[in-house]
Amino acid sequence: MPTQFDPPSGTRDLLAQEFERREQAFAVIRSVYGRYGFEPLQTPAFERLEVLMGKYGDDSDKLIFKILRRGEQEASGEADLALRYDLTVPLARVAAAYGSQLPSPYKRYAIGPVWRADRPGKGRYREFVQCDLDTLGSASPLADAEVLCAQHDALVALGVTDFTILLNSRQVLAGLLEAYHIPDQIGPRVLIVLDKLDKLSPAAVVAELQDLGLGEEAGDLVRALTAADSSDRIRVALKPSEQGEAGLAVLDDLLALVSTELPPGRIVFAPRMVRGLSYYTGPIWEHVAPGIPGSLGGGGRYDHLIAQLGGPDVPATGASLGIERILMLPGQEAGPLRRLDVAVAVLDEQYARDAYSFAVASRAAGLRASVYLGSSGKLGKQLRWAADQGARWCVLYGSAERAAGTVTVRDMTTGEQTPVPAAELTGYLASAAGTTLAGTTSAGTTSAG
Amino acid sequence: MPTQFDPPSGTRDLLAQEFERREQAFAVIRSVYGRYGFEPLQTPAFERLEVLMGKYGDDSDKLIFKILRRGEQEASGEADLALRYDLTVPLARVAAAYGSQLPSPYKRYAIGPVWRADRPGKGRYREFVQCDLDTLGSASPLADAEVLCAQHDALVALGVTDFTILLNSRQVLAGLLEAYHIPDQIGPRVLIVLDKLDKLSPAAVVAELQDLGLGEEAGDLVRALTAADSSDRIRVALKPSEQGEAGLAVLDDLLALVSTELPPGRIVFAPRMVRGLSYYTGPIWEHVAPGIPGSLGGGGRYDHLIAQLGGPDVPATGASLGIERILMLPGQEAGPLRRLDVAVAVLDEQYARDAYSFAVASRAAGLRASVYLGSSGKLGKQLRWAADQGARWCVLYGSAERAAGTVTVRDMTTGEQTPVPAAELTGYLASAAGTTLAGTTSAGTTSAG
């Protein structure tokens, strides 16, 4: 039940635990993309309206969030800016704007939110993050191999191991239409129907193909594409088609390149994988995982799209990871949130200044530390607070400690309490943390500043 | 001269070097804030229009970017959403929405873009990043001390060392008005005039105060505030005022707390520092640096603002860093961009697959590596490319190397070329990187994945 305090429909507030989980995933992806020599690009949240309109098709144009003119022109009700709808159109604009100032080829990644006024649903948001990597300006299959392997490595680095990359190409699909004598004018519609093979039964797809005017070849085509040995059958079927054969040669070249990096069986030739987007011009691929509908990511070569989007006419290849879907996979759950390593109790208001100085001493040991900021001085409440913060230690200081010149360091796991000379707190904690924190991830600790 | 490919007015495209520089600064700030136990919060880019409107005053409301209703309602020209204008109103909404699910007190930081349709100028953008930290739900001076010191430590961690924190409080300012017998009804306007003391001459400020109706006390007040020993003079002048004395006691308490952490002289009582924002209710502070107009950051206690902004009525204290201004300081320039550690030349198309495998081997050593993706095989051009990428090594492989079972590793700094058995490339580079990369920052390298 939405309240007046909920974020707008289709958007989320990311509290600490969820935020950290996502940031860690983005850091992993950035690190892998960087290792392949892709460099970051960040463009503004909004673009001039004319940069976006007419680039995505009429249905998508309706989903663009438009921003009202400001000042006196606001009353006109007209828009002049719009929130970015993807990261590719801004890339095309940047390629046009900066031209030779960019390296050639330009290998860039971009990880950032995009906005679409889609109907919100499970895993479908109006504000969501895209993780794109693209190489503009290289027609080499080496460029496709890099994009494909960088994306693969990012998934593996995220802990996703049970997935397959389906590989196909636009040339192979065109060759298939040719080999099965499907008239050019219905070719695109035939491909759209074939794309339904993972949702509909073969018989239903055959029926739809026959509705388009296909005869016996509909059944032949669907049987060949759904057979257990379909990739071998299609290799044979493509022989009469020049572009089919050429497409296969490109795919085999790409398979040979990536076989240096990918584990055996990770990537397969999948002649029935169509991939909906019409702009691809060469190899196309999709990452599928068992039990997950749709794909974790995909990509392909799209040699003329950048020009169509307003940029220079350069060959291009790129890919995208569906981070929202990846984060829903088993094993991707957020870990427990540790806000503090050291919680410092304030047992007596008159010792607040001492307590603060113990937090300072704890931070000097490179640890996350804070004093209790509440008004109740009760020990039980402050220990609960320390536990809620995920603290490993709680520092206690009262009149007894003051008299002895010590602080009491309580291990929050064992309950064991150790008196430590007040002046030696930093050294004591650094040493204790060096022992008990060893082997944990850096997310749980911070290094000394 | 703007072209059709420029980003919208007042916004920027962040290419790799600038992006990395900013991300490093944000990482430093996040790390410091985290060490004080502040946790991250990220809210959507836009809010429902009614959440934002009426919260910032009429002039500011005009600067809010409003988003058109979508679908059939688009033609109405009405807005229902708006880009966030700051990070405080979203914080108030989150505090209202999540209530007891949030820790109490709620210590959160937020680093993210906000959007204002201001007139763009030098260092003033329509899309810019705010770095906020706030503690909701604690009236303790310990909370003010934490915010103030975390902000201080972040500046130091960013390499900013030459700055002073000016400390004052609303109570002291109120006491000052009382001590100088300034009528309540012109008090706020007097403070606005006093705030001009760092821009106008004392005489000009006295004149403006007299325009407000002040007599001799205008000159007395300005003399006291601008004297070399002004803080001592004001301490004496405040004695007759109960709230002035109370405010001073709070400041002295805060000064004693933070003296545990801050170097001597870093923070000073500055009774003429007014800080424009009217919502502060207790201590206020500002970071000033020599030669920098305005402030690098500021903060203070604002005990009723969260309720005014639609959240619960909780005591609150917070601060913000002006990252755009900080990044303009000397010493904050971007370092050279190293896209690659290892550049692999493709001297002969027939060895492209081998070259790709050498890039794979280099990445296995935890290094950034990529093959040459261009079409010209000329050595000179490929070495220029390697240099442009900032590569430390260039791997060369031609028929001579093939015959010998080696690769040639060229040190891009010395030009020295070393033959390395092809199968040992990963080990060779890992070892070489362990030597020559030691002592460089992590930004220049990547760790083994």
Q: What is the pLDDT of residue B436?
A: 53
Distance separating alpha carbons of residues B31 and B154, to the nearest angstrom: 8
Q: What is the mean pLDDT of residues B225-229?
A: 90
Residue numbers in B near A442 (CB within 8 A): none
Torsion of CA B194, B197, B201, B206, to 10 degrees: 10
Q: What is the pLDDT of residue A440?
A: 37
Measured on CA atoms in the order B440, B441, B446, B449, is the torsion positive or negative?
A: positive
Q: What is the pLDDT of residue A97?
A: 94
Residue keyed to tokens 């027609």: A139
The gap from C-alpha A298 to its chain's centroid, in whole angstroms, comes to 12
Q: Which amino acid is at A212?
A: L
Pick from B435, B204, B188, B155: nearest CA to B319? B155
Which of B:102-121 have CB within 8 Å of A?
102-105, 107-108, 113, 115, 117
- Residues sharing a CB contact under 8 Å with residue B119, sequence separation 6 or more, in sequence order: none
Distance separating alpha carbons of residues A226 and A202, to the nearest angstrom: 8
Q: Which amino acid is at A142?
A: L
Give yes or no for residue B438 having a pLDDT over 60: no
The model's pTM: 0.91
Distance separating alpha carbons of residues A409 and A388, to the nearest angstrom: 17
Q: How far is B82 from chain A (nearest CA, A)?
A: 8
More confident residue, B299 or B72: B299
Give yes or no for residue B318 having a pLDDT over 90: yes
Q: Which of B11, B12, B13 to mutate to test the interface with A (most CBs of A within 10 A)?
A: B13
Which of B:363-402 have CB within 8 Å of A?
363, 366-371, 373-375, 388-389
Give yes or no for residue B377 having a pLDDT over 80: no
Binary contact (B142, A363; C-beta < 8 A): no
Distance separating alpha carbons of residues B342 and B393, to the nearest angstrom: 5
Could you tell me if B62 and A71 are in contact, meaning their C-beta atoms sit under 8 angstroms apart?
yes
- Nearest-CB residue to B77 (from A20, A77, A117): A77
Average pLDDT, chain B: 91
The set of long-range contacts for B214-222, using a CB threshold of 8 Å and a minimum separation of 24, is B214/B182, B214/B186, B214/B190, B217/B180, B217/B181, B217/B182, B220/B180, B221/B176, B221/B180, B221/B182, B221/B194, B222/B194, B222/B197
Which of B:50-79 have CB within 8 Å of A?
62-63, 65-68, 70-71, 74-79
Q: What is the mean pLDDT of residues B424-433?
A: 95
Determine the 3-state secondary structure of B355 from DSSP: helix
The distance between the two most distant Cα atoms of chain B, rounded to a whole number of Å, is 97
- Nearest-CB residue to A43 (from B13, B137, B359): B13
Say how many C-beta atoms besides its own lie within 10 A of residue B354's C-beta.
18
Could you tell me if B281 and B302 are in contact, meaning their C-beta atoms sit under 8 angstroms apart?
yes
- Whole-angstrom CA distances from A342 to A237, A373, A386, B31 are 68, 14, 8, 16
- Nearest-CB residue to A370 (from B3, B37, B153): B37
Helix (H) or strand (E) holding A394: strand A393-396
ipTM of this predicted complex? 0.90
Residue numbers in B near A15 (CB within 8 A): 39, 41, 98, 102
Q: Which of B142, B144, B341, B363 to mutate to test the interface with A (most CBs of A within 10 A)?
A: B142
Q: Nearest chain B residue to A111 by CA: give it.
A: B19
Q: What is the pLDDT of residues B29-50, one digit of tens each?
A: 999 999 999 999 999 999 999 9
- Nearest-CB residue to A157 (from B40, B79, B449): B449
Gyration radius from chain B CA atoms = 29
Q: What is the mean pLDDT of residues B317-345?
A: 90
Q: What is the mean pLDDT of residues B346-358?
A: 93
Residue numbers in B near A145 (CB within 8 A): 356
B136: exposed, middle or buried (Cβ count in 10 Å: 0-12, 13-18, 19+): buried
Q: What is the pLDDT of residue A435?
A: 56
CATH number of the domain located at residue range(s) B16-326 in this protein: 3.30.930.10
Residue numbers in A near B66 (CB within 8 A): 67-68, 74
Asked if A337 reaches chain B (Cβ–Cβ under 8 Å), the answer is yes
Distance separating alpha carbons of residues A154 and B315, to the nearest angstrom: 44
- Nearest-CB residue to A45 (from B45, B71, B94): B45
Q: What is the pLDDT of residue B291?
A: 80
Q: Nearest chain B residue to A46 by CA: give it.
A: B8
The tokens describing B92, both together, are: 């108030």
- Whole-angstrom CA distances from A98 to A92, A104, A348, B4, B271 are 10, 11, 62, 12, 50
H helices of B260-408, in order, are 305-308, 323-326, 352-364, 379-388, 399-404
Residues of chain A predicted below pLDDT 70: 1-2, 435-449
Give yes or no for residue B329 having a pLDDT over 90: no
Q: What is the pLDDT of residue B2?
A: 60
Helix (H) or strand (E) holding A146: helix A141-157
Please report, rounded to a whole number, the percentage of residues in chain A having pLDDT higher than 90: 76
Could you tell me if B391 and B412 are in contact, meaning their C-beta atoms sit under 8 angstroms apart?
yes
Q: What is the mean pLDDT of residues B71-89?
A: 92
Distance separating alpha carbons of residues B83 and B71, to the nearest angstrom: 19
Could you tell me if A367 and A440 are in contact, meaning their C-beta atoms sit under 8 angstroms apart?
no
Helix (H) or strand (E) holding B414: none
Binary contact (A104, B374; C-beta < 8 A): yes
Q: What is the pLDDT of residue B123?
A: 78
Local confidence band at B439 (pLDDT 50, 70, 90 cut-offs): very low
Give yes or no for residue B336 having a pLDDT over 90: no
A118: exposed, middle or buried (Cβ count in 10 Å: 0-12, 13-18, 19+): middle
Q: Same topology for domains B16-326 and B342-444, yes or no?
A: no
Which of B:410-449 have CB within 8 Å of A?
446-447, 449
Distance separating alpha carbons of residues A192 and A160, to the nearest angstrom: 30
Q: Which of A32, A35, A108 to mutate to test the interface with B (most CBs of B within 10 A)?
A: A35
Distance separating alpha carbons of residues B287 and B294, to the nearest angstrom: 9
- Whole-angstrom CA distances from B427 to B363, B433, B434, B446 are 11, 10, 10, 16
Q: What is the pLDDT of residue A293?
A: 79
Residue numbers in A near B11 (CB within 8 A): 44, 46
Distance separating alpha carbons of residues B226 and A252, to the nearest angstrom: 80
Q: Nearest chain B residue to A390 by CA: give it.
A: B37
Q: How far is A165 from chain B (nearest CA, A)?
A: 19
DSSP 8-state code for residue A284: E
Distance separating alpha carbons of residues B143 and A370, to the nearest angstrom: 10
Give yes or no for residue B446 having a pLDDT over 90: no
Domain boundary assignment for chain B: 16-326, 342-444
The tokens describing A383, both together, are: 């220990």
Q: How far is B171 from chain A (nearest CA, A)?
A: 22
Q: How far is A253 from chain B (nearest CA, A)?
A: 9
Q: What is the pLDDT of residue A438?
A: 39
Q: Nearest chain B residue to A154 by CA: give it.
A: B449
- Whole-angstrom CA distances from B198 to A53, B9, B151 are 48, 31, 23
Q: What is the pLDDT of residue A75?
A: 86
Residue numbers in A near B138 (CB within 8 A): 373-374
- In sequence order, what are the beta bridge partners of A371? A344
The CATH number of B342-444, from 3.40.50.970, 3.30.540.10, 3.40.50.800, 3.40.50.2000, is: 3.40.50.800
